[in-house]
Amino acid sequence: MKHPPRLAELIEALRALPGVGPKSAQRMAFHLLQDGRSGAQTLAHTLEAALASVRRCERCRMFAEQELCAVCASPQRESSLLCVVESPADVVAIEQSGSFRGRYFVLMGHLSPLDGIGPEQLGVRALEAILDEGLVRELILATNPTVEGEATAHFLADLALRRGLTASRIAHGVPIGGEIEYVDGGTLARALAGRQSV
């Protein structure tokens, strides 16, 4: 059955959302046009507004509405600690843990030469500029524990070490609250290799 053209376009456009296939795009479109019309109007407006005013922090590349994001603008953050992450969602997760008082740098990806993503695309020049200011003492590498994330961490550790700074990698191991029985082999291997004396 062919949908009316505007409806078909809406279903197609909803597939731009991550994790939304044709079936859930249709379900979303029907909901928006049926019971959710006021929510749909709000969504269209807020989306336009966000596209117009949300940009990147000029220092750390996190989402921001001003020149600097809240973290970079805050004088209470320790400028000696810089935590490098792959995505804005990682910043949110670390902030929610409440366990870090330094600043961030968001790569917006990881090194992936096959996809044409090199240091340039990850803003490594901006990162080097921050390191060259001389305030940062430790570069904390919190990229994902994947092949690309590890490669990116190695590459960035080099930048720090060449400047005589400390470079550290966040610990990988058995998650708190997890049961060892159900933890995968790769994680267990890392947990054993990274064991610390008590």
Least separation in angstroms between residue 60's CB and a copy of itself is: 13
Dihedral Cα 148, 51, 35, 33, nearest 10 deg: -100
- Answer for the pair 191, 172: CB distance below 8 angstroms, yes or no: yes
Retrieve residue 72's tokens: 């970079």
Lookup: tokens for 188: 């267990």
Q: Is 48 in the site for a copy of itself (CB under 8 A)?
A: yes
Contact predicate 91/82, CB 8 Å: no
Residue 75 touching a copy of itself (CB under 8 A): no
134 touching a copy of itself, by CB under 8 A: no
- Nearest approach, Cβ of 113 to a copy of itself (angstroms)? 18
Place of tokens 């670390």: 94
Please state the closest distance from residue 68 (CB atom) to a copy of itself, in A. 11
d(CA 190, CA 173): 6
Do 122 and 159 meet the contact criterion of CB atoms below 8 Å apart? no
Considering the rule CB under 8 A, would residue 143 count as an interface residue with a copy of itself?
A: no
79 belongs to the binding site for a copy of itself (CB under 8 A): no
Q: Determine, following the binding rule CB under 8 A, whether residue 87 of this chain makes contact with a copy of itself.
A: yes
| # residues contacting a copy of itself (CB under 8 A) | 58
Q: Which of 22, 49, 74, 135 binds a copy of itself (CB under 8 A)?
A: 49
Contact 187, 172 (CB under 8 A): yes
Evaluate whether 61 touches 106 at the Cβ level (below 8 Å).
Answer: yes
Give SS3 for 93.
helix
Interface with a copy of itself (CB under 8 A), residue from 21, 22, 37, 72: 37
Stretch that binds a copy of itself, among 83-91, 120-128, 153-161, 189-197 (CB under 8 A): 83-91
CA pair distance 21, 182, nearest whole angstrom: 31
Determine, following the binding rule CB under 8 A, whether residue 149 of this chain makes contact with a copy of itself: no
Is 115 an interacting residue with respect to a copy of itself (CB under 8 A)? no
Residues that bind a copy of itself (CB under 8 A): 1-7, 9-10, 12-14, 16-19, 24, 26-34, 36-37, 39-51, 53-54, 63-66, 69-71, 87-89, 91-92, 95-96, 108
